[in-house]
Structure 1
């Protein structure tokens, strides 16, 4: 590369970094409808709908921007979801308000939509002090709370998640999925904060439930040689799982366990959230960071994949993965959840790095989020792709994805000292 080419490349990178936040805000405004945030303004399948998980994430992101119309769209999102709540308390996976078409999930319900709803309501209330909104939402929140308790099934503190039951809806994990337990922990923290504010007293049983869930997560999803934790969920299963955990022991948090055993692939979003939500201690944070640098990002890539390593046709899990789809198969190697690189996940990673004082790392990753969001789709720049192909590094998935824009906003605001989660472990 010549000196001129190097100068032009640096200028282009600087321009993308400077424009990335503005372009992301512009897309969030396009996602804001009269009924709340659309997953995408793109007319594709059901993306132009109000979504439970996407809408809550965009709504919390809006709170970081201090832009009144975006914050209002976040409030309206939650009100729309509550208006279409199911008879048992189910929060919709997505809603088409024009036709009143409601989906609570595909082959299985989406547990995480319910968790994000409680979290979203609490974050909006904490940020705005809007007690009237909270009073309006309490009946819906209480119905979700009851439903989540029923989804523990054996009343032992962890939610049981069916296959396709959360955002990784065409991936092969199920049972006691770490990602959903972390959201459950945050939802319970939110309920504690709400109870304290409304009743001017503590709900001691709820606080004990939060404390136990944190201990369960720490004990059951991190393997250490020759130690059986006090809060192990099933001792025999844990021993078998630890014995088979040749790569992840003391390196990262395992993604799930079920009556059939443990899963061992690296779940990026769960491993970021376990730090961001202050479940991990500093030693485990550092071990995860080392694993990401040495194993997950071996080619120097600065975006995180949904899961790693990639499942390939010669792998034992390929047959099950290849059967897990609703309409068309999306999880070819390095695509979608199977090794696709996600700006949304990377935005949370930037937030965690910024919060831990690792500004240089955070800025490098934020630059890569902007570069990914700026990729051309359908002949236009700034396509905000849903994900990036893990080996070709090309734009993939749905165009103008709202939470890809949110990833850029979350990262930018985190570097300015703003928090995505205002309700934290102090609220336990």
Structure 2
């Protein structure tokens, strides 16, 4: 049990704690010194796991900041900068962020679950209901899957668009979390319908009407769910975050889940870092989708092969893979992933880098990244103190 790595992670979470919530990083770089929806909730889950009341209170403040700045249409801010009690609110950059909405719902429900406080759900009930109405609208065709724009979630400089697996799974998690408290038959039915559509459209050899029958027939399915599809066809990269969520949420047959686990374990074991790349394989300059990568950046191009979303390895993503392994009773493999997360976070005197080049192992992106620390805390506490998230 690496207590040094754990305490360094807790120390960083404390350092990025502000009265308005968790900052994405302790470094003043572009937008990272802001309260972000997805980063803040992932750090909040780690706060709950840590049982540290100061960090838990920061999580509560994060949710309050997001709720206060909800758009009238229901959108949750991607991030909020607060200076002298004035808010500068962003709902996305080159495109809006769909996952900010689902992470907010998940965050409120996880906090209420941890505190055994149903009144916390009541406090934010109208905000949550607005979020769900917006998600319903984002189906567009009323066929149960969200339609997500390019650059519309955490992989904001990557190639996924349309019916993105990660966003469908976050929506299921949000619905299940909320339904734990409200016990709605309508929500139960919606969860079943979304789950059915995921299994029909993202898994091989399934029965049922496909969204895009011709494109489905052309896919050479592997032992995992592809990252997205749209009217132009399927993008078949392995999405480590999404497939980890599928395992956590128990989506798909036991046989197919075992295939996903085996694929992920094998892939991680074959890398220098021993971690899962966020998306695999990388997109190269000679590939069909390179043109989607090269212009999809607001500041500077970062998605070189093996880096950032394009095959880079993120401690945060591997934290959720660790939780997925534990949910499937793969304790020894979860221990191994935590060791690799800690090794990555410890590089350059515990710099907690955002991600790493999977080929060279060199760090990329911002240092002192809060959700890299959160990953270590989540897996550590789940392993050693049986912390459980609500799924």
Q: Is the structural similarity TM-score above 0.5?
A: yes
Work out whether 1:233 is the aligned partner of 2:210. Answer: yes
Work out whether 1:410 is the aligned partner of 2:378. Answer: yes
Structure 2 SS opposite 1:262: strand
Structure 1 SS opposite 2:262: helix
**Aligned equivalents of 2:29 and 2:188: distance in 1?**
43
How do 1:60-75 residues align onto structure 2 when only pairs under 5 Å count?
Answer: 60-75=45-60
Structure 2 SS opposite 1:407: helix
Give the corresponding residue for 1:55.
40
| Unaligned ranges ≥5, structure 2 | none
| CA 295–64 in structure 1, closer or farther in 2 if over 3 Å, else same | closer
1:190 Cα deviation from its structure 2 partner: 2.2
1:229 Cα deviation from its structure 2 partner: 1.5
How do 1:85-100 residues align onto structure 2 when only pairs under 5 Å count?
Answer: 85-98=70-83, 99-100=86-87
Work out whether 1:187 is the aligned partner of 2:164. Answer: no
1:333 Cα deviation from its structure 2 partner: 1.2
Instruction: Please tell me whether the aligned partners of residues 157 and 213 of structure 1 are also in contact (alpha carbons under 8 angstroms).
Output: yes
| Unaligned ranges ≥5, structure 1 | 1-13, 197-202
Give the corresponding residue for 1:3.
none
How do 1:17-416 residues align onto structure 2 when only pairs under 5 Å count?
Answer: 17-98=2-83, 99-196=86-183, 203-224=184-205, 228-230=206-208, 232-234=209-211, 237-245=212-220, 248-249=221-222, 251-295=223-267, 297-299=269-271, 301-376=273-348, 381-416=349-384
1:214 Cα deviation from its structure 2 partner: 1.2
1:254 Cα deviation from its structure 2 partner: 1.1
| CA 289–300 in structure 1, closer or farther in 2 if over 3 Å, else same | farther
1:240 Cα deviation from its structure 2 partner: 3.2
Moved more, 289-298 or 367-376: 289-298
TM-score (norm 2): 0.95
Paired residues in the alignment total: 389
**Aligned equivalents of 1:240 and 1:163: distance in 2?**
19
1:176 Cα deviation from its structure 2 partner: 0.6
1:401 Cα deviation from its structure 2 partner: 0.5
1:357 Cα deviation from its structure 2 partner: 2.0
Instruction: Please tell me whether the aligned partners of residues 178 and 270 of structure 1 are also in contact (alpha carbons under 8 angstroms).
Output: yes
TM-score (norm 1): 0.87
Cα shift readout 1:46-68 (whole Å, capped 9, x = no counterpart):
10110011111111221111111
1:186 Cα deviation from its structure 2 partner: 1.0
Instruction: Please tell me whether the aligned partners of residues 45 and 110 of structure 2 are also in contact (alpha carbons under 8 angstroms).
Output: yes
1:193 Cα deviation from its structure 2 partner: 2.1
Moved more, 290-299 or 91-100: 290-299
The structure number with the bigger radius of gyration is 1
